[in-house]
Amino acid sequence: MGARAMQGERAGDATAEDRAALPIELRAVSKSCAGIKVGNTVSFDMRPGEVHALMGENGAGKSTLIKIMAGLHQPDEGQILINGEPVRFSSPRDAHAAGIATVHQELLLFPELTVAENIYLGQTPKTPLGAIDWPAMRRGARALLQSLDSGDLDIDQKVTTLSVGNRQRIEIARALAQDARVLIMDEPTAALAEHDVQRLMSIVRTLCQRGVAIVYVSHRMPEIFALADRVTVLRDGQHVATRPVCDVDEPTLVSMMVGRSIDRLYPAKQGQDGETVLELRNVSQRSVVRDISFSLRRGEILGLAGLVGSGRTETALTIFGITPATAGDILINGRPVKIGSPEAARDLGIAYVPEDRGHQGLIRAQSIAENIALANLKRLTRGVIVDMTRVMAEAKQAIARFGIRARGPDQLVRQLSGGNQQKVVLGKWLATNPRILIMDEPTRGIDVGAKAEIHLLMRKLAGEGMAILMISSELPEVLGMSDRVLVMNGGRIVGEFDKVEASAEAVGTVMTRSYSKDDAA
């Protein structure tokens, strides 16, 4: 412990008196999640009234760090200090009490209660008799919203009917009602429309003037440069650097985040691209997928880059028939097709390896064999009976082909590691003999070794003539694997790069730019 206290000196630029005024400081904290170390001796501090941007790719350790500050995780090592005093948060309540509030990505509100109640729930004002003082609560809620420049919100409205932007303002008001001194905002603009983003930024500035310190997690460069005073970059659970924003520019930040830009070897392209197998012409799905057009050829790996919420997954779901297209045409081998359901997509030779393995990809309580058979039941049935011998044979074949490390086809999927689970999903879909393979975050939450195996496999499949559409939030993966990169932003395709042009800086810049509705076309 003593050695670690010494390390605290490293933060350097603040004197001991300054430090006593810091609303929160983390000293060399680390935390292991399921055996993988995330947040490795990270030091982080907040000054009153500053906006401190926290950046890094998915899996860099941002959320772990946030959860430690919010009291959801306890650090394995290191210290948390509030006003210079070491503390321990054993629950979110302790963090609240210390003046730390969080605006969550998935907003934690009560849909059937009113705006005023949502702001005050858990700390309602009381009359002397101990009853809830509704007039005081409504007055307080109105005043809070007014101070956030949101006096137009109806405090008696049920939250169900409100837009995401409005709900977020309610969460912020709730944090203020708790007298928060540190406000953690986790990708607050990911799901916001453009005018809501502007509004949020002005709210953030108002909060700073009141002395609230804001941890601002975002991928979007313009917001970072417009708002933040300092920026901390994490990569692979390591603290890369903390700098004043005026000392860095966009390319520097991108390369700090990506770091080893192409330091890992990605398998090289095999063979030539063939004819076009999938073409989208002006496809839209309500307002989340807008006017998408692209084509995908045999043997090609097409990368789809973009931030969370940019419409990448939604595009994949539209092609796969989960949310059928509301406008435009989809052509397969040049023929227009109508894809109204996943079974229709599957019968057209489309396979989709979804982003959420546990929820969408696998039935974790069932065996490897049962999972692999699920998309192939028609083919594996003799008469009316499922041919168990063939189910087992296929499962064994998939285990051998993809190197799934399991005791056998009967092992339950939930007992496998992430990488092996992903191989089961792949096995299930490749058994359908698809011509088009959509892979959504193919290596999320998978260790490095399994990652490389899956990359090699993707290359091999493409070499055998498979057309692959890959969605990934990891820039190096997109750049390393793709023959061509499309960038999405706000539901539209906003950029296309071939292998040579696609650099981290170029793609990253287009990805993180804020587009107004007009110039996104």
Partner 1 sequence: MTALSAHPGRSALHRFIGGYGQEIVVLLSIVALFVVVGIINPRFLSDTNINSIFAGNAYIAIAAIGMSMVIIAGHIDVSVGALIGVIATIAGTLAVNGYPVWVAWVVPILFAMAVNAGVGALVAYTRIPSIVVTLGMLSILKGGLISITAGEWISDLPTEFMIAQMRPFGIPSAVYFMVLLTAVAALFMRYTDFGRSIYAVGGNMEAARAAGINPERTVVGVFILHGLFAGIAGILFATQLQVIQSTVPPNLELTVITASVIGGVSILGGTGTVIGSTLAAILFACIGSALIFLNVSAYWLRAVLGLLILATVLADMARRRRVT
Partner 2 sequence: MTASRLLRHETILGVLTVIALIVLASLSDKFFTAENLLNQGRLMSEVGLVALAMTFVIVTGGIDLSVGSILGLTAILLGVFWKNLGLPLPAAMVLALACGTFAGWVNGLIITRFRVPPLIATLATLALYRGLAEGISEARSVRGYPEWFFFFGQGEVLGVPFQLWVLGLATIVAAVILGLTPFGRATYAIGANETAARFSGIRVDAVKLWIYTGAGFCSALAAVIFVSRVTTTRSDMGTGLELDVITGVVLGGTSIFGGRGTIIGTVLGLILIQALKNGLALSGVKGDGTIVVIGLVLIGAILAGALFDRNRGG
| Per rule CB under 8 A, count of chain residues that contact partner 2 | 34
Report if residue 34 touches partner 2, rule: CB under 8 A: no
Q: Do the strands 327-332 and 335-337 form a parallel or antiparallel pair, or are they unpaired?
A: antiparallel
Residue of 9, 17, 152, 263 that binds partner 1 (CB under 8 A): 152
Report if residue 192 touches partner 1, rule: CB under 8 A: no
Site map (CB under 8 A) of partner 2, residues 498-517, x = contact: --------------------
Q: Give the Cα-Cα-Cα angle 450, 453, 459 (nearest 5 degrees).
A: 145
Tokens of 30: 């680390």
Report if residue 94 touches partner 1, rule: CB under 8 A: no
CB-nearer residue toward partner 1: 197 or 452 = 197
Looking at 58-205, which runs of residues are DSSP E strands? Answer: 77-82, 85-87, 100-103, 182-186
What CA dihedral angle connects 44, 67, 209 and 154, to 10 degrees?
A: 170
Picked from partner 2, partner 1, none, the partner binding residue 109 (CB below 5 to 8 A depending on kind) is partner 1
Tokens of 88: 């321990």
Looking at 335-457, which runs of residues are DSSP E strands? Answer: 335-337, 350-353, 381-382, 385-386, 436-440
Residue 388, helix vs strand vs coil: helix
- Candidates 138-146, 155-163, 271-279, 369-377: pick the segment binding partner 2 (CB under 8 A): 369-377
Report if residue 234 touches partner 2, rule: CB under 8 A: no
- Facing residues of 53 across strands? 216, 231
Report if residue 195 touches partner 1, rule: CB under 8 A: no
What CA dihedral angle connects 473, 474, 477 and 482, to 10 degrees?
A: 30
Picked from partner 2, partner 1, none, the partner binding residue 142 (CB below 5 to 8 A depending on kind) is partner 1
- Candidates 8-16, 106-114, 457-465, 480-488: pick the segment binding partner 1 (CB under 8 A): 106-114
The secondary structure of residue 361, as a DSSP letter, is I
Picked from partner 2, partner 1, none, the partner binding residue 166 (CB below 5 to 8 A depending on kind) is partner 1
Q: How far apart are CA 412 and CA 184, in angstroms?
A: 39
Residue type, 337: V
CB-nearer residue toward partner 1: 71 or 480 = 71
**Residue ranges in 402-441 that form contacts with partner 2 under rule CB under 8 A:** 410, 428
Q: How far apart are CA 449 and CA 405, in angstroms?
A: 13
For residue 500, how far is the Cα from the chain centroid? 27
Question: For the chain, how many residues are written?
Answer: 521
Report if residue 129 touches partner 2, rule: CB under 8 A: no
Picked from partner 1, partner 2, none, the partner binding residue 322 (CB below 5 to 8 A depending on kind) is partner 2
CB-nearer residue toward partner 2: 182 or 413 = 413
Shortest reach from residue 447's CB to partner 2, in Å: 22
Report if residue 122 touches partner 1, rule: CB under 8 A: yes
Report if residue 5 touches partner 2, rule: CB under 8 A: no
Contacts of 136 by beta carbon, 8 Å cutoff, 6+ apart: 125, 127
Picked from partner 1, partner 2, none, the partner binding residue 197 (CB below 5 to 8 A depending on kind) is none
CB-nearer residue toward partner 1: 87 or 121 = 121
Shortest reach from residue 131's CB to partner 1, in Å: 4
- Candidates 47-55, 103-111, 290-298, 372-380: pick the segment binding partner 1 (CB under 8 A): 103-111
Q: How far apart are CA 81 and CA 239, in angstroms?
A: 18
Residue of 13, 85, 112, 519 that binds partner 1 (CB under 8 A): 112
Report if residue 359 touches partner 2, rule: CB under 8 A: yes
Stretch (H or E) spanning 335: strand 335-337
Q: What is the largest CA-CA distance in the chain?
A: 81
Report if residue 48 touches partner 2, rule: CB under 8 A: no
Shortest reach from residue 516's CB to partner 1, in Å: 19
Report if residue 398 touches partner 2, rule: CB under 8 A: no
Shortest reach from residue 395's CB to partner 2, in Å: 11
Tokens of 289: 């997928």
Residue 143, helix vs strand vs coil: helix
Q: Do the strands 77-82 and 85-87 form a parallel or antiparallel pair, or are they unpaired?
A: antiparallel
Report if residue 340 touches partner 2, rule: CB under 8 A: no
Q: How far apart are CA 437 and CA 465, in angstroms?
A: 11
Report if residue 335 touches partner 2, rule: CB under 8 A: no
Complete DSSP assignment for 168-210: HHHHHHHHHHTT-SEEEEESTTTT--HHHHHHHHHHHHHHHHT
The secondary structure of residue 443, as a DSSP letter, is T
Report if residue 444 touches partner 2, rule: CB under 8 A: no
Tokens of 213: 């310190």
Report if residue 386 touches partner 2, rule: CB under 8 A: yes
Q: How far apart are CA 78 and CA 359, in angstroms?
A: 34
- Candidates 323-331, 353-361, 444-452, 485-493: pick the segment binding partner 2 (CB under 8 A): 353-361
Q: Give the Cα-Cα-Cα angle 322, 324, 326 (nearest 5 degrees).
A: 155
Report if residue 345 touches partner 2, rule: CB under 8 A: yes
Report if residue 341 touches partner 2, rule: CB under 8 A: yes
Residue ranges in contact with partner 1 by CB under 8 A: 92-93, 96, 108-113, 117, 121-122, 124, 130-132, 134, 142, 151-157, 160-161, 163, 166
Residue ranges in contact with partner 2 by CB under 8 A: 320, 322, 341-343, 345-347, 352, 354, 359-367, 369-370, 373-375, 377-378, 380-381, 384-386, 388, 410, 428
